[in-house]
A and B are shown apart, each in its own frame.
Chain A
């Protein structure tokens, strides 16, 4: 990675998606995050970089790991963090997203972190508030900090991304994680394979510059990384798939299928995992191959970096 230069500034006011970022933006975030990795392991984890700043977490969709990760990240940097879970608030009483945005804006936050079930909700919010907006997942469009933490995890293990062969497997159609990762990994020079049954494969995704596979063994062949996605239970009831057991048979990550990948392949998963549906439970716990815990750990560092950079 290039040496850190103070002259480089982020090109965007908001972090709405990977597709808006340049390579130098991404490198800036990854470098900044690297500097927080050791801090997060040390005894005194608190900095005052964001002292006096107000961070509002606006979560319209339930989330455990992303919300706590953002909350912790803000607190470690010294910001005042307020988390709002919208499930019981005014929005349920008919207030629109824009009204909520205006209300919050009047409280002069420095940064708003938003998760929303509708694609593009963060774009709409960003047009209406004065502070920076960080997207913590919008519909099935983007989840940029997840892709960034995945990239940081890969770099930590493999020392590079350029030239790696990476398979993203599972429910691509409904996955914002997949979309953000496709943009990011492509930009950083990886070769990306997409593995999904046709019913969960978004239309014309090949135009993103990825290889499509409906046969998982072919899709993971010679891959350095196998990234599994969470399969939501409702996909069974709405006839996308026949059953959990059939899905596991054809698209679950098992030692048998993993044999086709490279020997030193690592396994990633954005969590929470459905053991026995998309991933074999032993593989999920194999600390040599599975980097799921590292992903969570580095997630805090990535979010600290994003908060710091976009708050400035």
Chain B
């Protein structure tokens, strides 16, 4: 690989607290050699080819902590190849994959397959999780230690929640012994039973069973009570309501844990469901505009650590059904960054806050040396024209499934190039 020089970019790297105008030098092995304002035409040999970014932004490659890939079992929805192409077009270079496949990732024998497929078919960094319990049934723990040693980054039942408090306490004890990251999708099954959207006026109007916010709150509160007694690496995958933000903010005063939010919950509210738009059937559900504003505020004051795409590809057949029958989830990895930038353009959040929640914060939780532009590291980064207007269209999506929650939405900001280990793997036409 030839050495590469980029100049005149706006570099934001929250991990190294870099927010300055400058450039990058990438070495012949795809490592970062120099970053920042010191990289300019004056100190680059004049015979070298230099790429002038003309003020475009450089961010570390995004780390998306919640992604569903269809392999194994649901390859028709998304495979590693289509996922990585979709991710690259959105500036995402590292993903954490959920274990809700068929079979479920719950034993050592399947991890080898997963690692091999991820390595052979994917151009991005794949960090697989395994389930907390066998078959995600919520009863018997998986082998955290053995799975971890095979390369599992963390444990979660993905779309499911550990309901049994005793099981949860034992999971936490094991996680504490083995220094394991556990991630909870917080939803009380009984309170959320048959629920499809936020409980409230919209659910009442549409005649759909509601999911009360307390279904989320009660699991968070329970887990944090356990965490008081059992210290472990605990992460709440996604939260959806203002009350959850409030609870977490209070608990963070004396407990160490982290939490995430889906870009869907940060950008949309229950009104967007309109006339039974099944693409907006999500878990956790979209809630009120007040909840959305509280979530944005939660990011601002660092109550919430990470933004995830909650990328859940579903084929058309699973969505062309009545709302009750339709599958839950939206495809979102391609639009994660652009939709996040909306929060910058409309003045809700600082750019650094957004990038931090998409790069260094998830990397820190996962304990991976990604999501940064540190010298010596793999040059995983994206170049972004943060003002470029574009419109989300299903037919232009790269992901195998087209179930975007923001069809026809006008966005501002688009990834123009994405690099992994110094190699340009995506270039906008």
Contacts and interface: CB of A to CB of B under 8 A. Distances in A.
A119 B323 contact: yes
Interface in A200-245: 202-205, 207-208
Given A119-B324, A139-B324, A203 B206 contact: no
Nearest to B212: A203
Contacts of A124: 276, 321-322
Contacts of A176: 207
Contact of B207 (A96, A141, A207): A141
Interface stretch (B1-9, B46-54, B197-205, B231-239): B197-205
In this complex, the interface size class of chain A, counting residues with CB under 8 Å from chain B, is 20 to 34
Interface string B271-296: 00001100000000000000000000
B208 A97 contact: no
A179 interface: yes
B322 A97 contact: yes
Task: Tell me the interface secondary structure of chain A in the complex.
Answer: mixed
Contacts of B199: 203
B324 A203 contact: no
Contacts of A120: 206-208, 275-276, 322-323
Contacts of B276: 119-120, 123-124
A118 B324 contact: yes
B140 interface: no
B323 A118 contact: yes
Given A118-B323, A120-B322, A203 B275 contact: no
A308 interface: no
Contacts of B200: 203-204
Contact of A203 (B204, B317, B322, B325): B204
Contacts of B321: 96-98, 124
Interface in A49-106: 96-98
Provide the main secondary structure of the chain B interface: loop
Interface in B171-206: 199-201, 203-206
Nearest to B202: A204
B119 interface: no
B322 A118 contact: yes
B320 A138 contact: no
Interface string A128-152: 0000000000111110000000000
Contacts of B323: 118-120
A207 B276 CA distance: 20
A140 B325 CA distance: 15
A296 interface: no
A116 interface: yes
Interface of B: 199-201, 203-208, 210, 212, 275-276, 317, 320-325
Given A96-B325, A124-B276, A203-B201, 15 more contacts: A97-B321, A98-B321, A116-B322, A118-B325, A119-B208, A119-B276, A120-B275, A124-B321, A141-B207, A141-B208, A142-B207, A179-B204, A203-B199, A203-B200, A204-B201
